[in-house]
């Protein structure tokens, strides 16, 4: 009985097969379609004419077009808002009465942060006051030292 040997994948030879391009580069090439010629796209991107044509004819890249991605993102955002609203509406006074203080505090914190994010606001604020005061003190010390070195010629 012959044993089945796994077939090895043929090695990639850049000289034979050409340069491989990342999906983002292929998408950039795809975005040139219709606005420039194949030769112009090749000159702009440094890619071979065949690479340009393959990218322009690749049906998978259609799914990554900015218009499709925008529609998908919009649809997902709408779905997230819908699910969030359903979750908030499910929080009845009875459920709050039965919830622990930790559960209520967590819910309030999460919903507040998400509301701020949906309004384009930050969900956490960082104070740099202590840092800026320290920098000002260091700057003053450095300026005094510079004046000492220069013999207070200013």
How many domains does the chain fold into? 2
Residue 132's contacts (CB-CB under 8 Å, 6 or more residues apart) are none
Question: Do 46 and 86 share a domain, yes or no?
Answer: no
Cβ-based neighbour number of residue 134 at 10 Å: 11
3-class DSSP assignment, residue 58? coil
Determine, yes or no, domain membership for 133: no
Cβ-based neighbour number of residue 135 at 10 Å: 11
User: Which pair of tokens denotes residue 89?
Assistant: 């509406």
- Per-residue model confidence as pLDDT tens digits over 119-134: 788 877 766 666 767 7
DSSP assignment of 89-150: HT--HHHHHHS-HHHHHHHHHHHHHHHHHHTT--SS----HHHHHHHHHHHHHHHHHHHHHT
Determine, yes or no, domain membership for 81: yes
Question: Do 48 and 71 share a domain, yes or no?
Answer: no
- Which whole number is the average pLDDT over 65-94? 83
Element (H, E) at 151: none
pLDDT band at 18 (very low <50, low <70, confident <90, very high): low
User: How far apart (Å, rounded) are the C-alpha atoms in residues 43 and 28?
Assistant: 13
Pick the closest to residue 48 from 12, 21, 11, 22 (CA basis): 21
Question: Do 22 and 48 share a domain, yes or no?
Answer: yes
Residue 107 domain boundaries: 66-118
Determine, yes or no, domain membership for 27: yes
Give the model's pLDDT for residue 78: 84
pLDDT band at 74 (very low <50, low <70, confident <90, very high): confident
């Amino acid at each position: 009985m012959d044993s089945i040997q796994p077939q090895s994948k043929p090695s990639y030879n850049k000289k034979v097969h050409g340069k491989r391009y990342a999906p983002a580069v292929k998408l950039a090439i795809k975005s040139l379609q219709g606005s420039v010629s194949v030769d112009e796209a090749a000159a702009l991107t440094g890619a071979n004419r065949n690479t340009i044509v393959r990218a322009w004819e690749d049906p998978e890249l259609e799914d990554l077009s900015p218009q499709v991605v925008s529609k998908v993102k919009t649809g997902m955002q709408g779905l997230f808002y819908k699910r969030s609203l359903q979750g908030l509406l499910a929080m009845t006074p009875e459920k709050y009465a039965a919830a622990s203080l930790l559960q209520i505090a967590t819910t309030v914190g999460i919903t507040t942060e998400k509301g701020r994010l949906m309004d384009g606001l930050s969900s956490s604020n960082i104070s740099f006051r202590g840092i800026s005061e320290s920098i000002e003190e260091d700057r003053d010390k450095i300026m005094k030292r510079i004046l000492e070195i220069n013999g207070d010629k200013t």
